[in-house]
Amino acid sequence: MRELERRIQEKRSIEATKKKLMGFNGKLGCIVRNLGQPLITHSQGGGLHDVGPTFGYEEAYENDTPLEHLRTTHELKRRLPTMEVLDELGNPIPDVEGKEWDDPNDRTYFGTDHIGWHFDGLSRGMHLEIKFEDLNKLLTVTFKGHEVYREEAGELYAYAPSPMWEDLIDRLYKIAQPMEMDKKMESRKEDIAEAKKMKEGWWEETRKKWGL
């Protein structure tokens, strides 16, 4: 039985390769990258999940005098978790400064990580879902609630060919492919502009250094 399944797997792998389905650079990857949305995970306290004790507002206020109440409020404010905000390049944005924005002593950082891509075809009238997970290089296709394609780390584990969902893949690929080409051209232009900028900066520095 295992030998039979192995031969079926090899046959299906050849078929999927010919149809350009396999790999993140194939049709499925192109669709999920350009028509899908990024999968984002949120983390607290760095890369690991870190949850501290509850604040205990009721207990803190139970026996406070007005002055103690004010001090307790200030202390609780300083212990509130705050989120680390990143700019477009992924660099932390500095905190707002001023007496109204004092820096908490027990700063808890929240971060986001990109872990893959997801495409949901329902918005296009298709009961089709494509998902890619970076960690295991897992690429799956679900059609009408059933998994019809599964690939992990470049190895095919499931593939049920059918024009019912493969025709939808071809239709989506015709939309996604030009978008992919446009992104590549734009990236190429940015690389050329950056190389030109570095060259000009080097030449200007050389002129200053040697009095040219």
161-200 per-position pLDDT tens digit: 999 999 999 999 999 999 999 988 888 888 888 888 888 8
Lowest mean pLDDT among 59-68, 133-142, 177-186: 59-68
**What was the pLDDT predicted at 189?**
80
Q: Which long-range contacts (CB under 8 A, 24 or more apart) does 156-161 make?
A: 156/9, 156/12, 156/13, 156/16, 156/22, 157/9, 159/12, 159/13, 159/15, 159/16, 159/21, 161/12, 161/15
Domain end marker among 65, 86, 107: 107
pLDDT value at position 207?
81
On whether both 58 and 152 belong to a single domain, the answer is no
The reply to whether 146 and 85 lie within a common domain is: no
Residues 167, 126 share a domain: yes
Q: Is residue 65 part of a domain?
A: yes
User: 161 and 200 share a domain?
Assistant: yes
Give the pLDDT score at 15. 97
Q: Are residue 141 and residue 166 in the same domain, yes or no?
A: yes
- The pLDDT score that the predictor gives to residue 104 is 52
Residue 89 clears pLDDT 60, i.e. is over it: no
pTM above 0.75, yes or no: no
- Please check whether residues 99 and 35 belong to one and the same domain: no
